[in-house]
């Protein structure tokens, strides 16, 4: 896919050549001066006329007519050099890769040095390049009839640099591409219809990951859950014809099973709401209620590719939430694996129930630090919108590590509080230790506070991705539909763990 060459790119033939253009007083100078000379100064004239712009994300496509060996130039505006960030560079690559895909080109070259700044060095640019390539060119293979002729796509990218070490650039390209591909895998899982992705299918997918990356794998069946007392998980599954699965993947990078990070992902493959049934509008799209599970599996793919020196256990509780004569009912009281009893006031608050047993089981497997990821509440969308993931925690230091990973990944999170009175609300039941739905006030906080009862004193962060797991409009780094949010944050968290 990627080839690195330590030279200028202006003497070799390619279908296209991508150049980054910063907004400087003199547009073509230093390294790009030779390129302008090849066109007898006409590129400068195109800048003066406005046909080439250095404004952010502006693309100029120029046919070279033999002035250089490459057939087309794509010049992408990067804005002010001093203001340009890693995220800006990644977005710019996303813009130009989407354009090249639209133009149905199979090969391109990139002059890496034209994208570097004092703040964004060559290795960062290489990471941004490969990550953006994977993300921006992603397309879900839907179920429409396809033409016999295969669609052309980018198959080869030649990266030119005169300054950076080619082996280090290759390594950065590998890392960025792994992050992008892991995110795309999560996107595909979330986009897949519920009838084609049951809990059994999700378990089979996890087994395939385990085989590919030599993870230890365990899949608990219904009988296993009964023996372990996973009453919360089993209660949600009561109304379903599909058997539940508790999926566990373990990656051990150290001699001893210590300092284990536990990643827990909600895997509700379709959510009707149960007897607290959703509206006819609200029920559409509930195939995406396993977005947390997809994020964890995507992160495990990245971990498998890059092999960080950190122990990780991933736990995914998976079932659908259906209605039948045997389904869970409001007013039922159930027993969780932890021994805590739960009064069910809302069967549509099922995610926190399966996560309760999953968090307990992650601790059973030795997790010393916990992150759970879930499309948990509509309340987080009301609070934070669709660009920011809600977060809650019981440990400031652990939260800071998650927060820093999210910023580096470009997947922002915002912390919501859990005060003692919030905890008392989820403990307020005449029938049981906890209730699963204290009311609509502070809805997102109540969901997090409930899960926190099972994390107990283990450092824990809850990530509510109900607003960020999908998008209605495409962007520079992907189409509408599933976003694969939190794959990169979780992978970075594991990689940067201290």
State the Cα angle at 452 between 451 and 457, rounded to 5°: 140
Closest listed residue to residue 189, CA positions, set 488, 437, 481, 398: 481
CA 233 to mean position of chain CA atoms: 25
Residues 112 and 197: their CA atoms lie apart, in Å, by 40
What tokens does 426 get?
């989820």
Closest listed residue to residue 277, CA positions, set 242, 323, 241: 323
Rg (CA), the chain: 25
Residues 190 and 286: their CA atoms lie apart, in Å, by 10
Residues 426 and 278: their CA atoms lie apart, in Å, by 22
The pLDDT value recorded for residue 27 is: 59
Residues 132 and 173: their CA atoms lie apart, in Å, by 11
The pLDDT value recorded for residue 351 is: 98
Closest listed residue to residue 454, CA positions, set 210, 264, 198: 264
Distances in Å between the Cα of 393 and the Cα atoms of 98, 387, 448, 451, 457 are 38, 20, 8, 10, 11
State the Cα angle at 287 between 214 and 313, rounded to 5°: 25
E strand spans, 240-396: 245-251, 261-265, 267-271, 312-321, 333-335, 341-343, 369-374, 389-393
- Has 48 been annotated as catalytic? no
Residues 306 and 174: their CA atoms lie apart, in Å, by 9
Can you tell me whether residue 15 is helix, strand or coil? coil
Tens of pLDDT, residue by residue, the chain (498 residues): 899 999 889 889 999 999 999 987 655 766 788 888 889 889 988 988 889 999 999 999 999 999 999 999 999 999 999 999 999 999 999 999 999 999 999 999 999 999 999 999 999 999 999 999 999 999 998 898 877 777 788 999 999 998 889 999 999 999 999 999 999 999 999 999 999 999 999 999 999 999 999 999 999 999 999 999 999 999 999 999 999 999 999 999 999 999 999 999 999 999 999 999 999 999 999 999 999 999 999 999 999 999 999 999 999 999 999 999 999 999 999 999 999 999 999 999 999 999 999 999 999 999 999 999 999 999 999 999 999 999 999 999 999 999 999 999 999 999 999 999 999 999 999 999 999 999 999 999 999 999 999 999 999 999 999 999 999 999 999 999 999 999 999 999 999 997
DSSP-assigned states of every residue in 68-124: SSSSEEEEEE---GGG--HHHHHHHHHHHHHHHHHTT-SEEEEEGGGG--SSS-HHH
Say if CB 367 and CB 257 are below 8 A apart. Answer: no
Closest listed residue to residue 188, CA positions, set 294, 94, 285, 271: 294
What tokens does 414 get?
């915002």
The pLDDT value recorded for residue 7 is: 87
Closest listed residue to residue 10, CA positions, set 36, 45, 40, 48: 36
- Has 102 been annotated as catalytic? no
The pLDDT value recorded for residue 111 is: 95
Annotated active-site residue in 31, 56, 278, 423? 278
Q: Specify the pairing of strand 470-471 against strand 312-321.
A: unpaired
In the DSSP assignment, the letter for residue 478 is B
- Domains in the chain: ranges and CATH: 2-164 (3.40.220.10), 181-496 (3.40.630.10)
Closest listed residue to residue 290, CA positions, set 242, 258, 336: 242
Look up the pTM and report it: 0.96
Q: How many CB atoms lie within 10 A of CB 498?
A: 6
DSSP-assigned states of every residue in 410-427: T--EEE----HHHHHHHT
Backbone torsion region of residue 221, taken as left when φ is above 0, otherwise alpha when ψ lies between -120 and 50, otherwise beta: beta
What tokens does 158 get?
């030649």
Q: What are the residues whose beta carbons fall under 8 Å from the beta carbon of 367, sequence distance 6 or more?
A: 260, 261, 262, 313, 458
Annotated active-site residue in 352, 363, 425, 488? 352
The pLDDT value recorded for residue 255 is: 97
Say if CB 8 and CB 163 are below 8 A apart. Answer: no
Say if CB 434 and CB 340 are below 8 A apart. Answer: yes
């Amino acid at each position: 896919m990627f080839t690195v060459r330590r030279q200028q790119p202006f003497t070799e033939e390619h279908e296209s050549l991508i150049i980054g253009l910063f907004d400087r007083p003199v547009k073509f100078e230093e390294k790009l001066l030779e390129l302008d000379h090849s066109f007898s100064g006409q590129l400068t004239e195109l800048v003066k006329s406005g046909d080439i712009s250095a404004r952010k994300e502006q693309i100029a496509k120029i046919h070279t007519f033999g002035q250089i060996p490459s057939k087309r130039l794509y010049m992408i505006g990067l804005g002010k050099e001093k203001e340009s960030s890693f995220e800006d560079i990644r977005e710019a690559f996303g813009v130009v890769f989407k354009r090249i895909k639209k133009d149905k080109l199979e090969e391109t070259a990139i002059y890496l040095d034209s994208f570097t700044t004092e703040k964004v060095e060559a290795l960062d640019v290489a990471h941004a390049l490969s990550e953006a390539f994977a993300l921006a060119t992603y397309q879900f293979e839907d179920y429409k009839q396809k033409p016999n002729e295969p669609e052309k796509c980018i198959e080869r990218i030649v990266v030119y640099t005169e300054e950076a070490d080619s082996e280090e650039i290759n390594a950065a390209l590998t890392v960025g591409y792994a992050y992008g591909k892991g995110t795309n895998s999560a996107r595909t899982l979330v986009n897949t219809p519920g009838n084609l992705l049951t809990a059994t299918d999700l378990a089979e997918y996890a087994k395939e990951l385990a085989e590919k990356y030599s993870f230890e794998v365990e899949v608990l069946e219904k009988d296993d859950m009964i023996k372990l007392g996973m009453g919360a998980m089993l209660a949600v599954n009561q109304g379903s014809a599909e058997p539940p699965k508790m999926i566990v993947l373990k990656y051990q990078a150290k001699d001893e099973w210590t300092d284990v990070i536990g990643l827990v992902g909600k895997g509700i493959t379709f959510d009707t709401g149960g007897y607290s049934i959703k509206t006819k509008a609200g029920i559409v799209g509930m195939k995406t209620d396993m977005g947390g599970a997809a994020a964890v599996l995507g992160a495990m793919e990245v971990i498998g590719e890059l092999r960080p020196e950190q122990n990780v256990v991933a736990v995914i509780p998976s079932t659908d939430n259906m209605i039948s004569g045997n389904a869970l009912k409001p007013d039922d009281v159930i027993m969780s694996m932890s021994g805590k009893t739960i009064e069910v006031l809302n069967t549509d608050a099922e995610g926190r129930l399966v996560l309760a047993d999953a968090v307990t089981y992650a601790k059973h497997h030795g997790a010393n630090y916990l992150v759970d990821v879930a499309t948990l509440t509509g309340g987080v969308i009301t609070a934070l919108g669709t660009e920011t993931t809600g977060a809650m925690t019981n440990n400031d230091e652990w939260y800071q590590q998650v927060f820093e990973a999210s910023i580096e990944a470009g997947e922002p999170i915002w912390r919501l509080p859990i005060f003692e009175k919030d905890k008392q609300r989820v403990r307020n039941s005449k029938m049981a230790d906890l209730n699963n739905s204290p009311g609509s006030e502070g809805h997102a906080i109540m969901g997090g506070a409930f899960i926190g009862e099972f994390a107990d004193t283990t450092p824990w962060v809850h990530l509510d991705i109900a607003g960020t797991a999908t998008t209605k409009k495409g962007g520079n780094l992907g189409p509408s539909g599933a976003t694969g949010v939190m794959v990169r944050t979780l992978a970075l968290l594991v990689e940067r763990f201290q």
